[in-house]
Amino acid sequence: MRGSKRTGRGKWTGSWKPRSDVAAILFSLFLAFLPLGVDDPYVLHVVVTSMMYAVLTASWNLICGYTGIFTFGHQAFFGIGAYASALLAMRVGLSPWLGLLVGGGIASLLGFFIGLPCLRLRAAPYIAIMTLAFSEIVRISCMNLVGLTRGELGLWGIPNFPNVVLPAIGIVSFGGGSRIPSYYLMLTIFAITMGAVYFLVRSPAGLALRSLRDSQEAAESLGVHVTYYKLLAFVTSAFFAGIIGSFYAHYILILTPTSVFSVGTMVEIMAMALIGGLGTFLGPVMAAFGLTMGLEYLRFLGDYRFIAYGIILVVVVLFLPEGLGKRAFRDRGIVQ
């Protein structure tokens, strides 16, 4: 009788945890209605930045948390998408709307070529060093190609997203002082990305990716095509990072190699994923929102605010090594 009571109590205490897919839908609806009550451009900009980091973290979590491939150059795909879309819009006249897909496509193509040599490297440190070297090569190249990228002088004059006409709404302008059009564009990208990641990790391909994370040898012995699924992880994560880079270029309207290829960006992505929980669906996303908004709130501390960042990371690693996602959401057998 005592054992059965404890079992029932255990089931009851675990049942209050929401499923992360349901929480993601509710959170997206909250974001969709947020501008109706908050029209402060600064607040909307902070939320847009949070969504950008959330997509970058979710895409990196796909390759590291679900596939077990530790990369240290994810910011390179973000920067490649930004520069590709900006330069094509400025030099060729490509519409920024097409630039979103072209930037993601170019980033995913490079992700394919980076993924190929990674197939020969099974040790995590070697993959991390190779991807870090790749990002540094791209950053230094952008710094020295002054005639094309203007180096650290900054690539400015990037065109904004053209106006669009929507039924029952009229003309939507991205060039005015309002942040609402850019907010909803970023929200659309965020929702599509989270939906794509969710369905991918729930599909048979997601099961194959997780088998690679647990043991590549065992997965290969069971018939999992290691080469195909590794490349799938690289290409998919690079594609979403490239799209965010393209959006960033036409949202901020100025690019420098330091701002888009910074190792600090990669460190922030890693910290958000670790605090939220590697291999969880919504944990890294919520951590991205919390840390981005928290650091913005502590901006008055200057660079000292990163001390709080480090303290949070150390505390989570020591006391919650699995991250916040597995504690907050009931995802066993769903997307983990």
Of 14, 13, 47, residue with least CA distance to 33: 47
The answer to the question of residue 128 being in a domain is yes
What residues make up the domain containing 175?
38-262
Stated pTM of the model: 0.89
Pairing of strands 254-255, 155-156: antiparallel
The answer to the question of residue 279 being in a domain is no
The answer to the question of residue 105 being in a domain is yes
**What is the per-residue pLDDT for 39?**
83
The strand pairing partners of 166, in sequence order, are: 170
Three-state DSSP class for residue 172: strand
**What is the per-residue pLDDT for 58?**
94
**What is the per-residue pLDDT for 330?**
65
The strand pairing partners of 165, in sequence order, are: 171
Identify the sign of the CA torsion 169, 174, 180, 186.
Answer: positive
Identify the sign of the CA torsion 123, 124, 130, 133.
Answer: negative
Residue type, 4: S
The answer to the question of residue 124 being in a domain is yes
**What is the per-residue pLDDT for 7?**
44
For residue range 171-226, what is the model confidence (pLDDT) as tens digits?
A: 888 877 788 999 999 999 999 999 999 999 989 988 888 888 888 788 878 788 88
The answer to whether the beta carbons of residues 284 and 325 sit under 8 Å apart is yes
**pLDDT less than 50: residues of the chain:** 1-14, 333-334
Encoded tokens for 100:
């979103």
Per the structure, how many domains does the chain have?
1
**What is the per-residue pLDDT for 129?**
87
